[in-house]
Amino acid sequence: MQTFEITREITDAITKRRGHVHPHEQFDPAKTALLVVDMQNYFVSEDEPTGCGPAQEITPNINRLASALRAAGGAVVWIVTEATEEANESWKNFYETLSEEGAENRRKVLVPGQSAYEIWPKLEVPDGDTHFVKARYSAFLKAPGGDLEAILRDAGIETLIVTGVASNVCCESTARDAMMVGFRTIMVSDGNAAYTLEAHEATMRGFLTTFGDVQSTDQLLGTIGRRAEAAE
């Protein structure tokens, strides 16, 4: 499983800049949402040419975080990418970066009704969770699912925990924008996955250094559990 080590070098640099490593070490679980980004067969299954093998390994951690957060009164948001007709037309610069075959496959299978579009089956998705559809890397940009920021604000959410695939693409884009619009944002070091370890580590380091916080699944579960016990 891909993870991220906060080395002494990183600790010293961040501490010098802001006085502490983890800016969001404490948070209220009841005002927190877990964002699960793009854990669809298209991005996870090895049967798909775009599948990211390491994404399968983070499935248990996502399930653990989701279960704990639900029990503590928080929210779980399943974010999926859809190749909408609007995005296919207006995001032509993106499609220019793909091969002709890759672009055609994306338009064909990354839509409702196709198995590639469905959420990875080993993830536990009970009724009551929120579902959100995006068309670009960041879920906070113009999206067919509506205005994610407004949805979260209406639910009283203050802190976001970001998981999913790929660490350095849709997860990082969503996490950066979440921080920019004012949410306390935490990326999960062993709850995100990229196509290479180097890409994953670079994202974790950059996000922790400048944008928000990076914590492990166990760290987050510890905080959720302690706050839940205190509330009781």
Which CATH number belongs to the domain containing residue 61 in this structure? 3.40.50.850
Write phi, then psi, for 190 (nearest 5 degrees): -115, 30
The verdict on residue 3 lying in a domain is: no
Residue 127 lies in a domain: yes
Write out the two tokens for 149.
């920021």
Report the amino acid identity of residue 31.
Answer: K
The pLDDT > 70 percentage for the chain reads 97
Cβ atoms within 10 Å, residue 92 = 10
Cβ atoms 49, 109 nearer than 8 A = no
Report the DSSP pairing between strands 159-165 and 130-134: unpaired
- pLDDT tens per residue across span 204-225: 999 999 999 999 999 999 999 8
Domain encompassing residue 162: 8-231
Helix/strand/coil percent split, the chain, to 5: 45, 15, 35
Q: Find the radius of gyration of the CA atoms of the chain.
A: 17
129 CB-near residues (< 8 Å, 6+ apart):
66, 70, 75, 76, 77, 78
Is residue 31 in some structural domain? Answer: yes
Asked if residue 1 is part of any domain, the answer here is: no
> How confident is the model at residue 143, as a pLDDT?
86
Helix (H, G, I), strand (E, B) or coil at 65: helix
Q: Is 147 helix (H, G, I), strand (E, B) or coil?
A: coil
Q: Is the peptide bond before 166 cis (omega within 30 degrees of 0)?
A: yes
Counted domains in the chain: 1
Q: Mind listing the pLDDT tens digit for each residue in 155-189?
A: 999 999 999 999 999 999 999 999 999 999 999 99
Tell me, yes or no, whether 100 lies in a domain: yes
pLDDT at position 100, please? 94
Determine the pLDDT at residue 232: 63
Inside any domain, residue 2: no
Comparing CA positions, the residue from 199, 226, 228, 205 lying closest to residue 54 is 199
Print burial letters for 199-231: b (CB count within 10 Å at least 16), e (below 16). Answer: bbbbbbbebbeebbbbbbbebbbebbeebbeee
Crossing angle of the two packed helices 59-71 and 217-231, in degrees rounded to 10: 10
H-helix or E-strand spanning residue 79: strand 75-81
The answer to pTM > 0.75 is yes
| Residue 163 maps to a domain | yes
The first and second tokens of residue 45, run together, are 């299954």
Q: Which one is predicted more confidently, 142 or 104?
A: 104
